[in-house]
Amino acid sequence: MMNHILLYFLGASILLTLAPGPDNLFIITQGLTRGKRAALITASGMCSGISIHTLGAALGISALFHSSALAFQIVKYVGAAYLFYLAIQTIRHAVKHNNAGKTHQAEPLPVNALASFRRGFIMNILNPKVALFFLAFLPQFTRPELGGMAWQMLALGMVFMLQSFAIFLSIAYFSGSIGEKLLRQPRFAKAFRWIAASIYGGLGLRLALATR
């Protein structure tokens, strides 16, 4: 029975992770604007954030976002503000690059390993809708006869994180590979910076308008 539950859970998790959404879009944006290395590190940070949501769901902490509108709004607005901050930083870099009048081969946006990891981690944990998703999704695959619900949710959360890790890294690798090729052409590099800023702003607005 446990094997069947894990198979169903894994199948559902893979489909949900592959579905177009803000996480995949964020990773693709990192790959196209910063290259393969930044995208892979950012994806790792996002996957690490899943462990926080899993722990919150297992311990009942995430239920706070369901019961308290204030807690939900505080976290979502902080998350939206962070995405707007990324949009502004990207615009500033694009303007600075244009003002420099560079016409030679473009470089990807600067890559800092810690900053890239932090970017993905914060992007994930400051989305209360993800917390509510885990709170609703994980219990569906728990069974009383298999032991404590909290331990089952932790185990399922780790499975979800591992499959997300594999999928996110694949997306990061391919988007980063494409990005590094296209960024050799200045016109693509300039366009990608403005597109990235628009995506960050759009994701921030989407999160700010999110409801429980």
> What pLDDT does residue 110 have?
61
Q: Environment class of residue 110 by beta-carbon count within 10 Å: exposed (0-12), middle (13-18) or buried (19+)?
A: exposed
Find the mean pLDDT for residues 169-185.
89
Q: Give start and end residues of each alpha helix (H) in the chain.
A: 2-18, 22-34, 36-58, 63-67, 69-99, 113-125, 128-137, 149-182, 186-208
Cα separation of 49 and 92, whole Å? 28
Cα separation of 88 and 91, whole Å? 5
Find the mean pLDDT for residues 102-115.
63
Listed residue (138, 158, 207, 171) closest to 29, CA to CA: 171
* Domain edges within the chain: 2-10+24-208
Cα separation of 33 and 121, whole Å? 18
User: Which range is least confidently modeled, 3-7, 47-51, 88-92, 153-157?
Assistant: 3-7
> What pLDDT does residue 180 have?
85
Residue 108 has pLDDT above 60, yes or no: no
Assign 144 a pLDDT band (cuts: 50, 70, 90). Answer: confident
Name the pTM for this structure: 0.84
140, two tokens: 């569906």
> What pLDDT does residue 112 have?
81
The pLDDT tens digits of the residues spanning 33-63 come to 888 999 999 999 999 999 999 999 988 888 8
Residue 152 has pLDDT above 80, yes or no: yes
Cα separation of 9 and 3, whole Å? 10
Residue 15 has pLDDT above 60, yes or no: yes
Average pLDDT over all residues of the chain: 87
